[in-house]
Amino acid sequence: WRNGYFVLAACATLMTIAATMLLAKYGETRQLNSGPQRQADDWRTVVRHPSFLPTSAMIFLSATAVLGSTMHIVPLLTDSGLSLVRAGAVASALGISVIAGRILTGYLLDHWDAGWVTWILLTFSSLGALCLWSGHDNLIVPGVVLIGFGVGTEGDLLAFLLGRRFPAHRFGSVYGTIFGVHALGGALGGIIAGASFDATGSYAVWLLGASVALALAGL
């Protein structure tokens, strides 16, 4: 596995070079607004926007449920009765479904309304949590794959929705604030999932709660 980290380091280096080239090409051509139209954008301006609460609620619930589940995916699978070796193999399907979910999300956003795309994919993730909660062997892999779709959904839809729901000149403040909500949800999800297991000796309660949270996020 150590060789994998060398590959990740190489990828990070290549992305840094690519970003530097893009900044050199486009950075100097960016036109900044001046005068009274270019106001200081703080978090108070963001939270007063009518789209802030529903968007934040969707992002928080989905991040809590999805990231909390993926953080615990291997122990969650072994708790379902899988051997450690098989749990690792099934968990690898999660990475594949995350990539597929991102591609599918982007394709659907080009053809369908963003609200329907969000609802469908988050509902799929909710069903994935229910599949894992059921404990049936035949539903474990589909459950992991469907939850993986949610990882691509809640992250990629964030930038897409914010760019259309909020004023463009406030995008930086809006994205930073609501991504903070996303990060908080992901952190709490991992803690709550672990605490739930410690209290009950099983991930069943967590998975049922995650399914409900994802269904609410989709709505």
| End-to-end Cα spacing for the chain | 40
How far apart are alpha carbons 134 and 66 in whole angstroms?
17
Contacts of residue 96, defined as CB under 8 A and 6 or more positions apart, other chains included, come to 145, 148
Quote the pLDDT of residue 1: 82
Contacts of residue 20, defined as CB under 8 A and 6 or more positions apart, other chains included, come to none
How far apart are alpha carbons 209 and 206 in whole angstroms?
5
Contacts of residue 90, defined as CB under 8 A and 6 or more positions apart, other chains included, come to 77, 82, 140, 141, 144
Quote the pLDDT of residue 28: 59
The H-assigned helical ranges of the chain are 2-26, 43-47, 52-71, 73-79, 84-111, 114-134, 137-165, 171-200, 204-218
How far apart are alpha carbons 172 and 43 in whole angstroms?
11
Tokens in use for 206?
């967590």
The answer to whether 133 and 184 are in contact (CB under 8 A) is no
Would you give the DSSP letter of residue 30? Answer: P
The answer to whether 210 and 65 are in contact (CB under 8 A) is yes
Burial of 88 (0-12, 13-18, 19+ CB in 10 A): middle
Residue type, 201: G
Tokens in use for 190?
């991992």
Pick from 176, 159, 146, 172: which is nearest to 73 by CA?
Answer: 146
Quote the pLDDT of residue 35: 46
Spell out, as residue ranges, where the chain has pLDDT lower than 70: 27-43, 152-155
The answer to whether 132 and 80 are in contact (CB under 8 A) is yes
How far apart are alpha carbons 61 and 52 in whole angstroms?
14
Quote the pLDDT of residue 107: 87
Tokens in use for 116?
């329907």
Quote the pLDDT of residue 208: 94
